[in-house]
A and B are shown apart, each in its own frame.
Chain A
């Protein structure tokens, strides 16, 4: 197949909005939205600061099935306030995950998929957003004992701040080339480190360090897929079929700490250095 034919046949996942993404992943006809936009559960904090709200606070919670199994999807809308986590949107995600864990304790094997497009906490909502992220993290750790929790970072926003920790806690993490995963966003690092060391406008440089491909070869994510809805769907099904991992990545911290311990912070660290560091030896079971 020529590149053009392949391009015309593929259906971009990145170009879909949060609601369309959730709909595309759930079995046809099974999509049911919880706390949808017509319930007007909006941020009480943004209007006080002169910022227009979105009716769903940028988070879509959808219940349905994948391959007939009960699944809840939490999809973040990256185009609304950078996908930032506020009180309402954060509580929607945490609540959905907590209910899924509750389902499992009651014998219903509900699983979860997180579609992450987020810069992290919504600064305008400060501690309320941070508290919500902490609740999301606790809920992921609770639910992953019963069922795999799968996160997808497709792009273009990426996943940063406290939500990058949430992504790291998931049973499986799927990314595209467009995805980025990092604790601090590029502009924050530039501000701290100086433009000489870290130029946030140098896109190839940024992606070489925090992009999906680099995160995959360094073992920080499980699957690296093209931006195609069917391929992402198939990868999610594969992860669910694998069941819970023997040991979650966040519980393999000793291996990662050992690797980080071998770094020489005085030397400039580039993408190749990081790859070599993580590639040497595979006793940690990194895929």
Chain B
């Protein structure tokens, strides 16, 4: 098990928070909460050791395409593949948008 920290430039802080996934085999849990404006912070706890470069690449690819909202994201990973990680992150961001629309 190891804990990894990542930071990326971000936009505005959204309203609301979201939880997706779970710490089951091959899955991960993602908690998304509003963060400091302009900054996306990710805290990853993963059961797979030596995977820092893989996470870095995955996040870079994802956030290069689109500037993410300012969030504190906590990930509890139980051996999810990069594809599953990306799906869960997108699901979390989508739920935040729905939550934001609900508040507006």
Partner-B contacts on A (CB < 8 A): 17, 37-38, 47, 50-55, 58, 77, 79-81
Q: Could you count the A-B residue pairs with CB atoms below 8 Å apart for me: how many are there?
A: 45
Instruction: For A81, list chain B residues within 8 Å (CB).
Output: 23
Partner-A contacts on B (CB < 8 A): 1, 17, 19, 22-25, 27, 29, 31, 33, 45-47, 74, 76-78
B24, B31, B45 pick with most chain A CB within 10 angstroms: B24
Q: Is there an interface contact between A38 and B33, defined as CB atoms closer than 8 Å?
A: yes
Q: Is there an interface contact between A51 and B31, defined as CB atoms closer than 8 Å?
A: no
Q: Is there an interface contact between B47 and A52, defined as CB atoms closer than 8 Å?
A: yes
Q: Is there an interface contact between A79 and B24, defined as CB atoms closer than 8 Å?
A: yes
Instruction: For B31, list chain A residues within 8 Å (CB).
Output: 37-38, 55
Cα(A37)–Cα(B31), bound, Å: 8
Q: Is there an interface contact between B1 and A51, defined as CB atoms closer than 8 Å?
A: yes
Instruction: For A58, list chain B residues within 8 Å (CB).
Output: 23
Minimum Cβ distance to chain B for residue A19 (Å):
8
Instruction: For A17, list chain B residues within 8 Å (CB).
Output: 22
Q: Is there an interface contact between A51 and B29, defined as CB atoms closer than 8 Å?
A: no
Q: Is there an interface contact between B33 and A52, defined as CB atoms closer than 8 Å?
A: no
Q: Is there an interface contact between B25 and A54, defined as CB atoms closer than 8 Å?
A: no
Minimum Cβ distance to chain B for residue A220 (Å):
29
Instruction: For A37, list chain B residues within 8 Å (CB).
Output: 19, 29, 31
Instruction: For B46, list chain A residues within 8 Å (CB).
Output: 52
Cα(A53)–Cα(B77), bound, Å: 9
Instruction: For A54, list chain B residues within 8 Å (CB).
Output: 22-23, 29, 76
Q: Is there an interface contact between A50 and B76, defined as CB atoms closer than 8 Å?
A: no
Instruction: For B45, list chain A residues within 8 Å (CB).
Output: 47, 52-53
Q: Within the complex, which residue of A38, A52, A55 is in contact with B78, where a contact is CB–CB below 8 Å?
A: A52
Cα(A17)–Cα(B77), bound, Å: 17
With contacts A52-B1, A52-B45, A55-B31 taken as known, whether A79 is within 8 angstroms of B25 at the C-beta atoms is yes
Q: Is there an interface contact between B76 and A52, defined as CB atoms closer than 8 Å?
A: yes
Cα(A79)–Cα(B33), bound, Å: 24
Instruction: For B19, list chain A residues within 8 Å (CB).
Output: 37-38, 55
Instruction: For B74, list chain A residues within 8 Å (CB).
Output: 55
Instruction: For A55, list chain B residues within 8 Å (CB).
Output: 19, 29, 31, 74, 76
Chain A residue with the shortest CB-CB distance to B77: A52
Minimum Cβ distance to chain A for residue B14 (Å):
15
Cα(A131)–Cα(B78), bound, Å: 27
Instruction: For A38, list chain B residues within 8 Å (CB).
Output: 17, 19, 31, 33
Instruction: For A53, list chain B residues within 8 Å (CB).
Output: 23, 45, 76
With contacts A38-B17, A52-B47 taken as known, whether A79 is within 8 angstroms of B77 at the C-beta atoms is no
